[in-house]
Amino acid sequence: MAHDKMTPAVSRDKDARAELGSWLKTLREAQGLSQRQLADALDLDYYTFISQLETGRGKIPSARYRDWAKALEQEPKAFMTILLSYYEQKPMRCSSATLKKIKASTYRPQSTP
């Protein structure tokens, strides 16, 4: 019985990570960046890390959230809010309307001063 109780939670986590990965891919492509170019912009050793994230495997280290927001030309607070809504689903909940609003605003590149 305990196994059955855990299975749906695991599935939801995997689905959420896949959804987040798809969103990250959309942001990257909107900037016209390849996975390798984004990895270079983030000073990553392996561009395959980008692929792993975009397919729902792995997690952006919290110390790098701002770097990712900058590389994808996103407002850092909104970007981090979305990441945390997927990574920390239990402690941080956004209403679906709020999350949709934040997501919609992050698809547009931010102007740089």
> How large is the average pLDDT for residues 37-58?
94
Q: Is the CB of residue 102 less than 8 Å from the CB of residue 78?
A: yes
Structure confidence by residue, pLDDT tens digits, 1-45: 443 333 333 345 678 889 999 999 999 999 999 999 999 999 999
Query: Angle at Cα 98 formed by Cα 97 and Cα 102, nearest 5°?
Result: 120
User: Where does 2-106 sit in CATH, by number?
Assistant: 1.10.260.40
- Burial label for 91, CB within 10 Å (0-12, 13-18, 19+), is exposed
Give CA–CA dist 92/109, Å, rounded.
Answer: 26
